[in-house]
Amino acid sequence: MSNLSARLLKLALSTAVCMTPAAAALAQTAANPELERLLRADELVVAGNRILTEETLLEIYEGNGFSLFWENGQNVRELLELVEKAPEHGLDPSDYFVDQVREILNARNGQSSNLNSAESDILLTGSLLRYGYHRRLGKVNASKLDPDINFRREAFRDQPPHITLAQILEAPSMQGFIDMAAPSGPVYQRLQYWLQEYRQLAAAGGWPAVPEGPTLRKEDDDPRVLSIRVRLAESGELPATADHQSTAFDEQLVSAVKLFQQRHALDDDGIVGKQTIMAMNVPIGDRIDQLRTSLERLRWVNQEAADTLVAVNIASFRVFFFEDGELEWTTRAMVGKSYRQTPVFRGDIAYMEFNPTWTIPPGILRNDTLPAIKRDPNYLASKNIRVIDRNGKFVDPATVNWNQYSKGVPYTLRQDPGPNNALGTVKFIFPNPHFVFLHDTPSRELFDRPERAFSSGCIRVENPMKLAELLMGDPSEFPQKRFEEIVDSRQTQRVNLTEKIPVVILYLTAGLANDGNVMFLKDIYSRDDRVLNALNGPVYVDLPQADKS
C-alpha cells in the first residue's frame, strides 16, 4: 500500500472515539432479541449456511446493542453488486451467499422470503465480512498452506468493529471503501483485465489444439501450419490482418511464434518444436486458473506493499526493484532447483557484504562437496576452499581421510573471496530462518537459459552491482566507483543500508510481459494445484486468528 493509501485508510478508520452520524443512528435503533438468540447459539447457521465468524459477529452486534444494520435497501443493493462481481477477482460469488443476498434484496422489493429480519441482517453482515477480508487478505490462508509464508495478515483493529461496519454502510460507495481497504496495484488490475479477456475467449470456444508432429521451421509447408495460425490468431499473437489460411511457414508466422514464445517464457527461436506445441495446447481453462491463482497470491501480499521494495518472482526467474511505488528496474535471476526450492516469504534487507566468503551449508557439503572431494583430491584447492577445525584452525585437506565420512564432516569448509566464489562479489542479507539471500554468481552464462532453476535455494542476481546502487539510494553519497574499489580490494566488507528495505519473494505463474500482455510461466515447483484447490474449496476460516485476540 502506498503512503497515500495508508493515510486515507487511517483517516477512514480513525473515528474510534467519535461516532459517525450513521453509527450514532444505528446505536439508537431498537434491539432485536432474535439477533441475540441466534448469535449466542452454539453454532451460527442461517438459511442452511454455516456462518464461520461467530465471535466477530457477536462482537459487532453486541457493540451495536443487538440492533439491525441493514435497514437501508441501497446498502443491500451495493453488496449484491460487489459479490456478483467477485469473479472479476477470480473469486466465487457463492462464497458470499450471493443467492441469499439477492433473495433479501428482492424481499425489500415486495417478494417473499424465508428469512426473518435478524437472519437477513446476520447473513448480509457475514457476506460483507467474507468479501472484504478475502479481498484484503485472500481467501486462502497462505501460512496454513505453506508454513514458510510469513506475509502480514492484519484486519481492522483500530476501533470497535461495529463502528467500522457502520462507516462502510454510510460511505458514499461501498465499492470505493473496499477498494481503499484492499488496494490493488497495476499488476493486479492488469491480470484482472486478462482474466476477463480469457474468460470471454473461453466462452467463444477457446482455441483449437495443434497436432503433434515433427518440428516446424520457417519456409516449411505443412497442413499443421494452418492449425498454428488459427491458434495464434485466437490468443492475439498473429494479427487479424494476417493470412489465416496458408499452410506455409512464412516470416509473419515466425514473428507470431516468437511473440508467443516470449509470452510463455520459452526460447524465442521462432521454431515450433515439442515445448512450443505443449504450451499452445494447454487448455484455456488452465490458463484462466493460472490467472486466478496469481490474483490470489497477490492478495496475500496486499499488506507488504511499500514505496521502496525488492520483489522476486520465482516462476519468472526475475528480480524487481520498486521506488515511489513504481517499477524502477528489473533483471534476470536464478532460483532453487526443484529439490532445493526457494521458499515464498518476506524479509528486510539490512546490509550487503562485498567479497563474501562462503561457508558451505551442511546439505550441500553432504550431497555435493564431499562426493566431489572423493572424486578429485585437488577439488578444494581448485575452488579456494579452506578446511577449518572446531578450534578455528586451518587444516591441510591432504591430511584428512575424506572417504571415512558419508553424512558430514567435523570441519567447516569455507570458500575464500574471489572470482570463483559461489556468491560472486556481493550478497544481500535479509535475516531469515531459511538462510536464503540474494547474491552474485560466477556462473553468468546460465542467465541466458529460459529456465533458471540452478541454485541451492538462494536467488542469484544477474546485475548485483546495479541492485546495490539502488539499495543505497543517493548515488552521490555512495557512487558506483566506491563499489568498484571495495570489490577490487578483495577484502570482505559489510555495508549497512541506511534503512532496511523490504524484500518479498513470490511465486506467480501468470504475470505481465514488458508490453503489458499476459505472460504464462511454468509451474516449476508444482505449487499451483494446492492453491487452486483451496481457492475452489469451501471457506474454512474467515478471519486471521491474530485478529480475534
Helix (H) or strand (E) holding 300: helix 284-300
What CA–CA distance (Å, rounded) separates 372 from 364?
11
Axis-axis angle for helices 117-137, 54-63 (nearest 10): 120
Q: Which of 89, 134, 264, 439 is catalytic?
A: 439
Residues 6+ apart with CB under 8 A from 165: 60, 69, 125, 128
What CA–CA distance (Å, rounded) separates 261 from 391?
55
Contact at 8 Å (CB) between 112 and 63?
Answer: no
Q: Check if 18 is active-site.
A: no
Among 293, 299, 298, 335, which Cα is nearest to 314's? 335
Contact at 8 Å (CB) between 292 and 281?
Answer: no
Residues 6+ apart with CB under 8 A from 364: 456
The conformation of residue 444, written as its DSSP 8-state character, comes to G
Q: Residue 33 carries which side chain, given as an amino acid letter?
A: P
Cβ-count burial of 80 within 10 angstroms (0-12 exposed, 13-18 middle, 19+ buried)? buried
Q: Residue 88 carries which side chain, given as an amino acid letter?
A: E
**Please, which residues bridge with residue 312 across strands?**
319, 505
State how far the alpha carbon of 62 is from the alpha carbons of 1, 15, 27, 40, 548, in Å: 32, 18, 10, 10, 15
Among 63, 80, 54, which Cα is nearest to 26's? 63
Report, in this order, helix, strand and coil percent for the chain, each rounded to 5.
45, 15, 40
What CA–CA distance (Å, rounded) separates 27 from 19?
10
Among 1, 5, 4, 9, which Cα is nearest to 158's? 9
Axis-axis angle for helices 117-137, 73-84 (nearest 10): 40
Q: How is residue 425 written as a grid cell?
A: 562479489
Q: Which of 89, 162, 264, 458 is catalytic?
A: 458
Q: Residue 541 carries which side chain, given as an amino acid letter?
A: V
Catalytic residues: 439, 458
